[in-house]
Amino acid sequence: MPSVGVLLVWMIVPLAMTLWFAFQRYNMIDPTIRGFAGLSNFQDMVTDPDFWASLKNTLLLLGSVLVITVCLGTLLAVLFNQSFPGRNIARVLAISPFFIMPTVAALVWKNLLLHPIYGVVGVLAQKFGFTPIDFFAQFPLASVIAVVSWEWLPFALLILLTAVQSLDTDQLEAARMDGAGPVAQFFFITLPHLSRAISVVIMIETIFLLGVFAEILVTTNGGPGNASTNLAYLIYSRALLQFDVGAASAGGVVAIVLANIVAFFLVRTVARRLET
């Protein structure tokens, strides 16, 4: 009970303060701005073009990372389930990016890999006679998606590899004896077996991907303009760059509602799959 009580206070107090400030006029630069704001903070948020751009970027980031991690994770899980020299080392190397902090991963991609002058990709482009590309300036959202996908692909691989290893080999052997090729075995035996694991991966990743922040802050700062701004970064910019706590809290409430709607449908989908 004491532990549960601490956790409840830890969650409820920030939520209650967010709800309170969402209906208040509160600006940290001008302390004279005070009072009940009603729904004006929400109206300002909904009519702000940056809000709709950040919502679109959030959904694009979420959907793209889910597709990349689930598809590549499934293929790599099937590959790493096969016997080949150095398989254990390859598994460790494939899973290791998941244990790197988001800030460090973003710095590695920004400075070591994709920097147009001294990054690995830029140096290779110059050696082959191509003009280096500043990916984070020209393709900001796609670059952020690549960084986040690189971080979460090991998680999907770990879950899906465990599910592949639990597949009954007798089914594969029977299908092979009946003349089914590798492609048919994958689509009619392996993939249906992975459906539950894929649902779990999608649910867990969705909850965390809605709050992606460090990668955007380190690489693009939400720019150019609002090209890579998501809801989490928009709330940060309103609160700690523009010092408008009321607008930031209204954005936080919208983000909480969106996250709960997504989580509700995902949990129901996963529960339905687990019952079958």
Flag whether 177 is in a domain: yes
Contact criterion met (CB below 8 Å) for 153 and 73: yes
Q: What kind and span of H or E run contains 60?
A: helix 49-80
Judged by average pLDDT, the poorest of 58-62, 63-67, 140-144, 164-168 is 164-168
Strand, helix or coil for residue 1: coil
Choose the most confident range, by mean pLDDT, from 87-91, 158-162, 254-258: 158-162
CATH code, 195: 1.10.3720.10
Residue range 59-82: average pLDDT?
Answer: 92
- What is the amino acid identity at position 78? V
Q: What is the pTM of this model?
A: 0.89
* Of 200, 218, 202, the residue nearest 210 (C-alpha): 202
The whole-number pLDDT of residue 151 equals: 93
Residue range 111-116: average pLDDT?
Answer: 90
Work out the pLDDT band at 255, boundaries 50, 70, 90: confident
Residue-level length of the chain: 276
Flag whether 1 is in a domain: no
The whole-number pLDDT of residue 276 equals: 61
The DSSP code for 37 is -
In the structure encoding, which two tokens stand for residue 237, read together? 């910019």
The whole-number pLDDT of residue 30 equals: 79
Residue range 79-97: average pLDDT?
Answer: 88
- At residue 273, does pLDDT exceed 80? no
187-199 per-position pLDDT tens digit: 888 888 888 889 8
Flag whether 197 is in a domain: yes
Instruction: State the residue for tokens 């500043």.
Output: 134
Number of folded domains in the chain?
A: 1
Choose the most confident range, by mean pLDDT, from 21-25, 142-146, 254-258: 142-146
Range of the domain at 104: 60-253
4-32 per-position pLDDT tens digit: 888 888 888 888 888 898 888 888 887 77
**Average of per-residue pLDDT values in the chain:** 87
Flag whether 150 is in a domain: yes
- At residue 87, does pLDDT exceed 90? no
Contact criterion met (CB below 8 Å) for 62 and 210: yes
Output the CA torsion 59→61→63→66 (10° steps).
Answer: -140
Residue range 229-249: average pLDDT?
Answer: 89
Flag whether 38 is in a domain: no
Flag whether 53 is in a domain: no
Residue range 150-157: average pLDDT?
Answer: 93
Flag whether 123 is in a domain: yes
- At residue 146, does pLDDT exceed 90? yes
The whole-number pLDDT of residue 194 equals: 87
69-78 per-position pLDDT tens digit: 999 999 999 9
The whole-number pLDDT of residue 275 equals: 63
Contact criterion met (CB below 8 Å) for 47 and 187: no
Q: Specify which residues 244 forms β-bridges with.
A: 27
- Cα 167 to Cα 74: distance, rounded to the nearest angstrom: 14
In the structure encoding, which two tokens stand for residue 104, read together? 């460090």
- Cα 177 to Cα 172: distance, rounded to the nearest angstrom: 9
Residue range 158-162: average pLDDT?
Answer: 92
- What is the amino acid identity at position 125? A
Output the CA torsion 15→17→22→24 (10° steps).
Answer: 170
- At residue 269, does pLDDT exceed 80? no
Contact criterion met (CB below 8 Å) for 94 and 203: no
Q: Specify which residues 36 forms β-bridges with.
A: 24
- Cα 243 to Cα 255: distance, rounded to the nearest angstrom: 19
- At residue 107, does pLDDT exceed 90? yes
Task: Report the Cα 66 to chain-centroid distance in Å.
Answer: 8
- What is the amino acid identity at position 63? G
Instruction: State the residue for tokens 């867990």.
Output: 204
* Of 228, 241, 79, 75, the residue nearest 147 (C-alpha): 228
